[in-house]
Amino acid sequence: MTKLIQLTDVSAGYNDTIVLRDVNFEINDRDFIGVIGPNGGGKTTLIKVLLGLLKPARGTVTRFDDASDGFIGYLPQTTQVDKKFPITVLDIVLSGLMSSRGRVYRYSRHDNDTAHQLLAQMGIGGLAHRTSKELSGGQLQRVFICRALISNPRLLILDEPNTYVDNRFESDLYERLIELNKKMAIIIVSHDVGTISYYVKTIACVNEYLHYHRSNIITEQQLADYNCPLQIITHGDVPHTVLQKHEHDHSHNHESHD
């Protein structure tokens, strides 16, 4: 398997506070990793280290970058942007090509076509010339997914993608992610362990330390052993049994929860 990113003995944090300690973690091609953990446990910090937004205090981050358009596609939490910023949907999607097109690049017809196709695939093809303030939270989330995908990334990182999304689109999204996983590695951050464990291949539990669980079946006992107490674990009726029952059942029908 091709290695994409390797973290070796990484510790990271802000100011004087260390949030992540001694993390050894490697991401390979076609991985589908669910990152879970309590709020404040360091999930977002881990993402920032992977993206290169935060320099680790100790340890090394190695990216096995190749010449693809954009190595990492990234879906941030929508709450971070100013929704009233005057920008069109098309421009938001094109901004996913920022690193490969240079600073003075004018976007080509081919780039525009790719963006339109992606928007159509996400079911929002008619919104290309709308501006961000005219979109609902869920629509904006889909626009951001298009932005993450337009560069054909080797690794897709999604930070809490279910925040603004309605249930129906959420299951659509996960089905699409399984499709995408055939071409790229995916890291999905969530504190909703119940939902993501249906789809992911492996689970990384982050609570200051990182425990990598090489399966998508995780028991409460294991969570406790990993020192990974989850605040939101009540997806479904009896979470821990649900977690154990479902193996790599990607075609699992979610209707019972809708």
Partner 1 sequence: MTDTVFELFSYGFFRNAFLASLLSSVACGIIGSYIVARRMVFISGGITHASFGGIGIGYFLGINPIVGAVIFSLLSAFGIRLASQRSDIREDSAIGILWSLGMAAGIIFIFLTPGYAPNLMNFLFGSVLTVSKTDLWMMLALTVLTVTFFSAFYHTILFISFDEEYARSHNAPVELFNYILLALVALAIVLHIRVAGIILVISYLTIPQTTANIFVSDLKRIIFLSIAISFIGSVAGLLISYYLNLPSGATIIFVFVLVFAIAKTIRSISQRAGLKRAIRKPDLPIFFQLPVDYGLILSYLWSNYLFGISVHLIQNSLTISCIIMRKYLLLAIFTALSAACSAQMMWDISFDHGSGTDRIILPDGINGLWQIGAPSKNVFTQANSAPDVIVTDTSDPYPAGDTSSFIVVHLAQDGWMVNYPKIDIGGWYYVNSDTLTDYGFIEFSPDKGKTWTLVDSAGSGCCSWGASQEYPVFTGNSNGWKHFYYCLCTTVPVEFGDTVLYRFTFISDDNQTFKDGLMFDDLHFEDWSEGIDDKPNDRLINISPNPVSEILRIETVRKTGRKTVQIINVSGVVVYNNMDFHDEFINTGYFKDGIYLLRYATQEQYAIKKFVVRH
Least distance from C-beta 70 to partner 1, angstroms?
7
Residue 62 binds to partner 1 (criterion: CB under 8 A)? no
3-class SS letters over the chain: CCEEEEEEEEEEEECCEEEEEEEEEEEECCCEEEEECCCCCCHHHHHHHHHCCCCCCEEEEEECCCCCCCCEEEECCHHHCCCCCCCEHHHHHHHHHHHHHCCCCCCCHHHHHHHHHHHHHCCCHHHCCCEHHHCCHHHHHHHHHHHHHCCCCCEEEEECCCCCCCHHHHHHHHHHHHHHCCCCEEEEECCCHHHHCCCCCEEEEEECEEEEECCCCCCHHHHHHCCCCCCCCCCCCCHHHHHHHCCCCCCCCCHHHC
Residue 98 binds to partner 1 (criterion: CB under 8 A)? yes
- C-beta closer to partner 1: residue 11 or 95: 95
Segment 99 to 118, residues that bind partner 1, using CB under 8 A: 99, 103-107
Stretch that binds partner 1, among 72-80, 190-198, 202-210, 239-247 (CB under 8 A): 72-80
Least distance from C-beta 216 to partner 1, angstroms?
27
Number of residues in contact with partner 1, rule: CB under 8 A? 31
- C-beta closer to partner 1: residue 6 or 131: 131
Q: Would you tell me which residues interact with partner 1 (CB under 8 A)?
A: 51-53, 70, 72, 74, 76, 80-82, 84-88, 91-92, 94-95, 98-99, 103-107, 131-134, 147
